[in-house]
């Protein structure tokens, strides 16, 4: 039986988390996975907390981790990974853009590598049209820059949908510095520099139906440029 902690950061995702948690539990049951779900919430004010508390009461595999202090997606990932009790971790957005039915394939891949990324850019992947042009452009340019300046060979080095051995996280967690989405690139860079083997699977990247995006492209791009500049200056390549 394979172990899996599913870490889901949430900020105002009531309608999505209500659908996602049962879908994840169904994948655990159908594929005989020894799984748990860790929802890391930043004090949502739309009823997300009440929904997750009710799911927590109903299913022993569901846990709610309520963050303290200022909201931070990167801190939510960090604290969620830290709280995960299983040998493998998968990081997934709450907004139903990532399909938990891919977990068994990703787990199988983990038999021969340490990190599996759900890629939006592999040949067989498909991506919804819902994102802004700025978000799409920033993501694509970031992929090129990561390849050229950081020596990353992956097609999607910045995506949140990824599975990894807990030991990969444990080895690098003390070095993680980035805030926001750059956390994901720093995670991969440090994991690779630490010898982790990385594989990618193509995904169908869905569209957000309920709730609003929290992504601020301008702010995230500035954070990214700072990170890139620092990494290049310090000679940090994959």
Nearest distance in Å: CB 147, ligand GTP: 21
Which residue lies nearer to ligand GTP by CB, 10 or 157? Answer: 10
Residue (of 169, 93, 79) closest to 128 by Cα position: 93
Which residue lies nearer to ligand GTP by CB, 40 or 107? Answer: 40
DSSP state for residue 71 in the 8-state scheme: -
Under the binding rule (CB under 6 A), the answer on residue 214 touching ligand GTP is yes
Q: Name which of residues 130 to 149 contact ligand GTP (CB under 6 A).
A: 131
Under the binding rule (CB under 5 A), the answer on residue 93 touching Mg ion is yes
Which residue lies nearer to ligand GTP by CB, 11 or 164? Answer: 11
Cα distance between the two ends of the chain: 33
Tell me the residue nearest to ligand GTP as measured from the CB: 213
How many residues comprise the chain?
A: 238
Cβ(40)–Cβ(9) below 8 Å: yes
Binding partner at 215 among ligand GTP, Mg ion, none, C-beta below 5 to 8 Å by kind:
ligand GTP
Which residue has tokens 């299983």?
Answer: 86
Which residue lies nearer to ligand GTP by CB, 95 or 114? Answer: 95
């Amino acid at each position: 039986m394979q172990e899996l902690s599913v870490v889901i950061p949430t900020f105002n995702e009531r309608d999505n988390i209500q659908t996602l948690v049962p879908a994840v539990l169904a994948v655990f049951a159908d594929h005989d996975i020894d799984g748990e779900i860790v929802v890391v919430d930043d004090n949502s004010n739309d009823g997300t907390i009440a929904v997750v508390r009710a799911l927590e009461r109903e299913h022993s595999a569901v846990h709610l981790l309520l963050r303290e202090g200022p909201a931070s997606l990167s801190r939510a990932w960090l604290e969620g990974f830290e709280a995960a009790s299983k040998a493998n971790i998968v990081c997934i957005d709450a907004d139903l853009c990532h399909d938990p039915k891919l977990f068994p394939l990703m787990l199988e891949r983990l038999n021969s590598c340490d990190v599996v990324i759900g890629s939006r850019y592999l040949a067989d992947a498909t991506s919804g049209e819902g994102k802004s042009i700025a978000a799409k452009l920033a993501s694509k340019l970031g992929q090129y820059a990561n390849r050229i300046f950081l020596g990353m060979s992956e097609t999607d080095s910045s995506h949140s949908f990824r599975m990894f051995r807990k030991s990969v996280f444990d080895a690098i967690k003390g070095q993680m510095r980035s805030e926001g989405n750059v956390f994901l690139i720093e995670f991969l860079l440090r994991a690779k520099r630490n010898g982790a083997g990385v594989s990618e699977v193509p995904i169908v990247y869905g569209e957000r139906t309920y709730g609003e995006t929290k992504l601020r492209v301008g702010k995230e791009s500035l954070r990214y440029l700072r990170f890139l500049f620092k990494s290049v200056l310090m000679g940090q390549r994959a």
